[in-house]
Amino acid sequence: MSDFGLLHHVEIQVSDLESSVGSWAWLFDVLGYTPYQEWNGGRNWRHGSTYIVLASAPRDGIHDRRDAGLNHLAFHAGTTQNVDRLWEAAPQNGWNQLYVDRHPWAGGDEHYAAFLDNVERFKVELVATDPTE
C-alpha cells in the first residue's frame, strides 16, 4: 500500500515538555510507536511511515481543544478488549477518563471508543477496530 494521502507527521506543542512526556510516551508505546529522535526541546515517536512530535511551545499559553484549531487525535486501538484495557490503565499513566457516564459509547451506538485527556487537556480517542468483537 502506498503512503499517499496518509499523515506524515503531527507536531504537538506543549507548555512543559518534561512533564508532558510521561503520559504521551505511555500512550505511544501501547499504540505501537517507538522512540525515534530526541533533541533539546523535543522528542518524536514513529509508527510505520508516520511520526508524532512533542515539542516545547515557543510561546506561553494554554491549550484549549474547544477553541478554533485541532480538537483531538483519534487512534485505531485494536479490539474492544484492548480499548477497555487502555481505558483502565490510562489514569495511572497521566490520562483522565472522559465521558465516564457514556463510556464506551460516547461517540455513538456503533462507535466503541475510549476518550481521554491529559494534564494539558490534550484529548485522544482510542477507537476499537470492530465494536462487535
Length of the chain: 133
pLDDT in tens, 8-32: 999 999 999 999 999 999 999 999 9
Q: Report the CATH architecture of 9-127.
A: Roll (3.10)
Residues 6 or more apart from 78 whose CB is under 8 A from it? 128, 129
Position 132 pLDDT exceeds 70? no
Query: Nearest Cα to 29, choosing from 94, 80, 79?
Result: 94
Give percent helix, percent strand, percent coil of the chain, each to the nearest 5: 25, 35, 45
Question: Mean pLDDT across the stretch 82-94?
Answer: 97
Position 76 pLDDT exceeds 60? yes
pLDDT in tens, 31-56: 999 999 999 999 999 999 999 999 99
The full set of domain ranges for the chain reads: 9-127
List the grid coordinates of 26.
505511555
pLDDT bin (cut points 50, 70, 90) of residue 1 is low
| Contact assessment for residue 14 and residue 57, using Cβ atoms and an 8 Å cutoff | yes
Which strands, in side-by-side order, build the sheet including 72-76? 72-76, 123-127, 113-118, 95-97
Residue type for 112, please? Y
Angle at 58 between CA 36 and CA 17, to 5 degrees: 45
Query: Nearest Cα to 98, choosing from 126, 133, 67?
Result: 126
3-state secondary structure of 13: strand
pTM of the complete model: 0.91
Residue type for 14, please? V
Position 92 pLDDT exceeds 70? yes
